[in-house]
Chain A
Amino acid sequence: MAKKLRSLDHHTQVRLIPSYVLVVTWAIFTFVLIGWVFFASFSTSQEIFSDSMFKFESGFHFENYIRAWNTQKVSVYFMNSLMYTVVSCTSIILIASPAAYVLSRFKFRGNLSIQSLLASALGIPAIMIVMPLFSLVSRLRLTNNRWLLIFLYIAMNVPFTTFFLLAFFKSLSTTYEEAAYIDGCSPMGTFWRIMFPLVQPGIITVTVFNFITIWNEYFMSMIFANKPKVRPVSVGLFNMIQAMRYTGDWGGMFASVVIVFLPTFLLYIFLSERIIQGVTAGAIKG
């Protein structure tokens, strides 16, 4: 039997050759795509154009990064984005997990409707909500306000996060609450001290996911943050690329691209399993 299974396995590997060819080609293409930008970011504009980029005849040009970081204001965008994502991701969890807990634990009228409302938010296109928000914000004179941007990032991601965490709370046994009740812990205390720490795996997954979403968010940021001082990286990068076409500083432009994608890229290298879990868990329920 063992022999038969092994020969089956061998057979499978042979039959999978076309799959290997395609998957490996796809993977190489992805690496070449990202690798090229990485190499280009250390080259001079002339080298990029002359096809002799990979030789690095004039050495590695780290000054591309320094130029991008200082003159092209990447530092400003980067720090903005860092602040926006960290504050929003934390607040999202503080708002979404109590809601998810209550929805998963208590029977009350409207519970199911609220759950489907939250799930439906995933299908509401940004184009549907942006106009009233803009008119409200401009009447309140809040455009180009950091806290407004953070509020939008939070509010746009709370429904999905709540929906995502619901399943995690549902899977916890009610004996925790019973024990806590007997020991005289209040329901709210039980939540923060016992239940909240127990869903930590779910919280980490969804936070990594939210981090990537907010870091890369473009449409809303473009509309609500048009002053360079408050721009996040995605909008900053787009404007930089447009400007770079005229200044001709290609090395600096690719350095900016690398700086912008490096945080999510590194996060992905270390946490790809979690991110993948997040995608599949969220999608299956949706």
Chain B
Amino acid sequence: MKKNRTMIIIFLTPAMICYLLVFLYPSIRTTIMSFFAVESVSDPISTWSFNGLENYRTLFNTAIFRQSMRNIASIWLVGGIGVMVTALFFAVSLTNGMKFSKFFRSVIYLPNVVSAIAMGTMWINYVYNSSYGLLHDIFATLGMTTLSETLWTGPDKLFWSMLVAYSFGMVGYHMLIFMASIEQIPKDYMEAAQIEGANVFQRFFHITLPFLRGCFRTNIVMWTVFTVAFFVWGQLFSPVNLSNATVAPMNYMYEIVFGSSASTTTVRDSGAGAAVGVIMMIIVIIAFSATNLIVKNDDVEL
């Protein structure tokens, strides 16, 4: 037993140091920092001055931060519904006896292994390009001139263009999670229902969906985690300055803490930056607990 104790300590210490140094310590320090007035991120603690919830108040009084929260709310809700419906549809189709399903599954997941920067470049420079882009060509061939001449990355369409491009890549990940759960549904259920004459929709609503409750939880939590970390796509679609259409809280935090050189509109405020971090963390915790509750309540009913 004594021997095991040393072994446990030796084997566990490096991993725990990683966790403590990179996850636990920074999380605690960010939380504390969010209650202090801190100008530069590298200011020593002695220069911090306590100001309670002032940072949070400042944030919610800042128009662009409120806009960034509205943006991720749209991403979460509209993008989330779009992605989940598409992912579930593909997952059900591919597990329902489609030919070449492994091939299609790999292709649909493919955008996830390609760098987001590369994917974004393809969308911006090809799909959305208004003179030689894919959408332009398709609509021009169909004779829809107004649509073919649309400036997809113009200010009024920018957010939705960005959301479509982002969601396109996310479908594969959520589809895989749905597929893994669907494959665990005993085959006999489906076969029995099929022989008894239940149609696709009946089978889907009465067998597949009830089995997928836990899987929805995973998908919603992960979607929330990805949404609060929304950053690269916002930067790709508005590379120079923060724009109302594409700003996400993380872009705003980057601007006020690390400040990109091009911007003159924002002042350095690391305390507020920390508060952005805490708000994002709280959103994840809420998503996690809320979905946990839903699943637990359902289990009681069973």
Contact = CB atoms under 8 A, between A and B. Distances in A.
A49 B180 CA distance: 43
Contacts of B142: none
B115 A138 contact: no
A23 B25 CA distance: 45
Contacts of A126: 229, 250
B96 A123 contact: no
A261 to B, nearest CB: 4
A257 B23 contact: no
A134 B33 CA distance: 13
B270 A30 contact: no
Contacts of A103: 12
Nearest to A124: B23
A175 interface: no
A264 B97 contact: no
A36 B228 contact: no
A167 B99 CA distance: 32
A131 B41 contact: yes
Contact of B132 (A24, A32, A49, A238): A49
A36 B33 CA distance: 47
A282 to B, nearest CB: 10
Contacts of B127: 33
Interface in B1-54: 3-5, 7-8, 10-12, 14-16, 18-19, 21-27, 29-30, 33, 41-43
Interface of B: 3-5, 7-8, 10-12, 14-16, 18-19, 21-27, 29-30, 33, 41-43, 89-90, 93-94, 96-99, 102, 104-111, 113-118, 121-123, 125-127, 131-132, 134, 137, 173, 176-177, 179-181, 194-195, 200, 215, 218, 221-222, 225, 228-229, 231-232, 235-236, 239, 249-250, 253, 257-258, 270, 273-274, 276-278, 280-281, 284-285, 288
A267 B112 CA distance: 13
Residue in A103, A108, A124, A267 whose Cβ sees the most chain B Cβ within 10 Å:
A124
A16 B93 contact: yes
Interface stretch (A55-63, A113-121, A199-207): A113-121
Contacts of B288: 123
Given A131-B270, A155-B18, A159-B23, A13 B97 contact: yes
Contacts, number: 270
Question: Which 8 residue pairs across A and B have the least CB separation, nearest first?
Answer: A19-B93, A99-B15, A280-B180, A98-B11, A129-B26, A155-B18, A155-B22, A132-B26
A129 B257 CA distance: 13
A124 B281 CA distance: 7
A120 B259 CA distance: 30
A132 B121 contact: no
15 contacts: A8-B194, A9-B97, A33-B122, A114-B16, A125-B229, A125-B281, A129-B23, A130-B26, A132-B29, A158-B14, A219-B250, A237-B115, A264-B115, A279-B177, A283-B177
